[in-house]
Amino acid sequence: MYFDELDLGDDLLDALYEMHFDECTPIQAMAIPPALEGHDLMAIAQTGTGKTAAYLLPVIERLTSGNFPTDAINCVIMTPTRELAQQIDRQMEGFSYYLPVSSLPIFGGTDGRGFSQQQHGLIAGADVVIATPGRLLAHLQTGRCDLSRVAFFILDEADRMLDMGFYDDIMAIASHLPKERQTLMFSATMPAKIKQLAASLLSSPVEVKTAVSKPAEGIDQSIFAVPEPQKEKVLIHLFRQGFSQRVIIFAASKLKVKDLARNLRRAGWQAAEMHSDLDQRQREDVMLDFRAGRKDILVATDIVARGIDIDDIAMVVNYDVPREAEDYVHRIGRTARAGAGGKAVTLVNERDRAAFSRIEHFLRTKIRREPWEVSIDEKTPSAKKSAGSSSRKRRGDKQCKASAHKDAKPAGNEEARPAKASGPRRSFKRRPKPKPAAE
């Protein structure tokens, strides 16, 4: 289906044309028509399938064609992170370029001046408010934010918000909304908590669903089974093969993110890091540099596993195996977006093999194994240390035996052997035993 087949106005279609939006994705084709008709909606679709346009386009169309107040907040969009709120705001600006529809992002991590600016915008009445739950609730508690005339309530990445503990905040915000409203809920998964939330907020919703928790077909998935100390060497191997630009590497902790990014920079790669220790301005600068191509590699925690809209990611690397199969899908969903291709590599150490087997069982597929040989020069530090200790031990035994032989008296009339000539001792290296190839 094409966008011009939908019941959208000419100004909105012109904006879509300028943004090179032509053909609808499956979730857009299924969600936009019932949303335009005013139905509540429960939409389930994996990340990277165009969910943002699936709810923004019908809301913009209804705001411009209906009789809605100009001095009130008409739409509230809830999102789990500030990065996603900023991304939605950027797309909102593009879609409404030819239309008199205003939007306001509301999120934490700002100073007192930023809070006051947000408050002023809320009082003035932006058409669309895009907010994280905690910060919007903080504004509501001041008593200077009026949501009594909201006509559209949208929850994006609803499952992620519940995972982050925002259920009570969402319900508190919903209590400030009028009962007569249109509610749209978008989620990548449908656990029991999402069903409970949907039952509380939605009224006779239309349910649309695409393939749940399955990676996009354009992703070339593979794994390297390697020891933990060898993971950085695998990365360098991949980079030297040409996969060194537009790369996101996901690590399990912010400490590991910092160490890995620092090591890559020391090795000469243009690497940046993204984690929760960065303040808002630093995070914005990192994403701006990465989008602009000033940084080739982004090392991150799961803070960017969802909600970062960058269409040209060439490769995603799971430096650590994610805890849940759905986290794996969200991580690798950063590549192969908008119908493009991409590469996803997972580095699996001995400890994580069982966890990755569960991911394969969830996906009902066997991920391709890539061969990885550990050369003599690439022995792990622990192996080198162990080898060194054994070598020193053998040399020590020989020296003790030589000393005992030197002190012993010759038997009978035999003359003592002459002392060996002094000088450097010639050493011979033992030939290492061949190691079996890693899986």
Q: What is the pLDDT along the chain (439 residues), one digit of tens a residue?
A: 999 999 999 999 999 999 999 999 999 999 999 999 999 999 998 766 789 999 999 999 999 998 899 889 999 999 998 888 999 999 999 999 999 999 999 998 777 888 999 999 899 889 999 999 999 999 999 988 999 999 999 999 998 899 888 999 999 999 999 999 999 999 987 888 899 999 999 999 999 988 656 677 789 999 999 999 999 999 999 999 989 999 999 998 999 999 999 999 999 999 999 987 888 788 889 988 998 999 999 999 877 656 566 778 999 999 999 888 878 888 888 888 766 789 999 999 999 999 999 999 988 899 999 988 644 344 433 333 444 444 444 444 444 444 444 444 444 443 334 444 444 444 434 445 445 444 3
pLDDT attached to residue 403: 46
Q: Are 9 and 36 in contact (CB under 8 A)?
A: no
Structure tokens that stand for 223 in this block: 């794994």
Structure tokens that stand for 73 in this block: 């907040």
pLDDT attached to residue 312: 83
Interatomic CA distance for residues 365 and 317, integer angstroms = 19
Please list the residues that pair with 207 across neighbouring strands: 42
b/e sequence 20-52, b meaning 16+ C-beta within 10 Å: ebeebbbbbbbbbbbbbeebbbbbbbbbbbbbb
Residues in CB range of 174: below 8 A, 6 or more apart: 153, 200, 201
Q: Are 102 and 179 in contact (CB under 8 A)?
A: no
pLDDT attached to residue 388: 44
Neighbours of 148 (CB within 10 A): 9
pLDDT attached to residue 305: 59
Interatomic CA distance for residues 233 and 415, integer angstroms = 59
H/E element, 199? helix 192-201
325 CB-side CA count, 13 A: 16
pLDDT attached to residue 50: 87
What strands, in cross-sheet order, belong to the sheet with 182-187? 103-106, 128-131, 75-78, 152-155, 182-187, 41-44, 206-209
pLDDT attached to residue 341: 81
